[in-house]
Amino acid sequence: MRHAEAEQVVTLFREHYNIPLVHVDAADLFIDALQACGPDPEAKRKTIGKLFIDVFEAEARKIGGAEFLAQGTLYPDVIESVSFTGGPSVTIKSHHNVGGLPARMNMKLVEPLRELFKDEVRVLGRELGLPDAFVGRHPFPGPGLAIRCPGEITRDKLDILRKADAIYLEEIRRAGLYDVIWQAFAVLLPVKTVGVMGDGRTYDHVLALRAVTSVDGMTADFYPFDMAFLGRVATRIINEVKGINRVTYDVTSKPPGTIEWE
């Protein structure tokens, strides 16, 4: 998860709804499994999908009587994962909540938003009176930072990415751009380059920044930041996050690139 993500989501739900929310920290379980499954993006997604269900079913057994698993699956998840009509289609990515789920589950799946796009869901959320803190949040992939860390997953790499991503989003909010951008995030590349800090040589990771505008997530354009903003973000990240010595900006639209890197 991103920096303080779990705490923020738990707080949002507990402040707005009187429900017996159960929060489970299963980070170690997921990271250990990801380290064992290797760098392949599809293997990562399917590993996360299986563990996702395993954790839910284990918690359901503890409280007893849980029959349904409700998910916020959207139509783009379905399109990229499986053929919605049952006809032939190419799997772009196995979204953990669609193609990444195990074939056999003890709970019944409930997906009321499955045939809606993100913009339609936001209209629905506002119609239902949901707080802007919920409705306006940028999309965040179910597999989390695992698919923003191409290559092998390690705790150190996730920590580096988490810190850099927090700085990037902080600067976007400070510039008043959060609600203008569809989705923004950092990607820690499996590449190291030579740099210089003070009088010393560094050999550290490259970080890519991504920000896109979109309506429904099916197509997207990169957000045209001004260079002063990108320079400010890059300088902060390199100075404040140990392990990164170079920052790039992804100017690929969708298509041909997907929004997420994996």
| Res 88: pLDDT | 47
- Cβ atoms 261, 92 nearer than 8 A: no
Query: How many residues are present in the chain?
Result: 262
Matching residue, tokens 């890197």: 261
- The string of DSSP letters for 45-73 reads HHHHHHHHHHHHHHHHHHH----EEE---
- pLDDT tens sequence across 7-26: 988 998 888 888 888 999 99
Closest listed residue to residue 121, CA positions, set 138, 105, 137, 135: 135
Q: What is the pLDDT of residue 69?
A: 87
Q: What is the mean pLDDT of residues 72-82?
A: 81
Confidence of residue 101 (pLDDT cuts 50, 70, 90): low
pLDDT tens digits, one per residue of 173-228: 999 999 999 999 999 999 999 999 888 899 999 999 999 999 988 999 999 999 99
Dump pLDDT digits (tens) for 138-150. Answer: 999 889 999 999 9
The residue ranking higher by pLDDT, 28 or 96, is 28
What is the per-residue pLDDT for 77? 82
- Cα separation, 22 vs 193, whole angstroms: 43
Q: Please list, residue by residue across 18-32, b when 16 or more beta carbons sit within 10 angstroms of its beta carbon and e when fewer do.
A: eeeeeeeeeeeebee
Question: What is the Cα 127 distance to its own chain's centre?
Answer: 26
- Higher-pLDDT residue of 171, 69: 171
pTM over 0.75: yes
User: How many helices and strands, by DSSP H and E, does the chain display?
Assistant: 8, 6
Q: Label residues 196-234 b or e (16+ Cβ within 10 Å = b).
A: eeeeeebebbbbbbbbbebebbeebebbebeeeebeebb
- Residue 84: the pLDDT is 43
Confidence of residue 107 (pLDDT cuts 50, 70, 90): confident
Instruction: Report the pLDDT value the prediction gives residue 198, as an integer from 0 to 100.
Output: 83
Residue among 249, 242, 113, 100 nearest 171 (CA): 249
Query: Considering only CA atoms, which of 136, 146, 226 is closest in space to residue 183?
Result: 136
**Predicted pLDDT at 94:** 59
**Among the listed ranges 63-67, 105-109, 110-114, which one has the minimum average pLDDT value?**
105-109
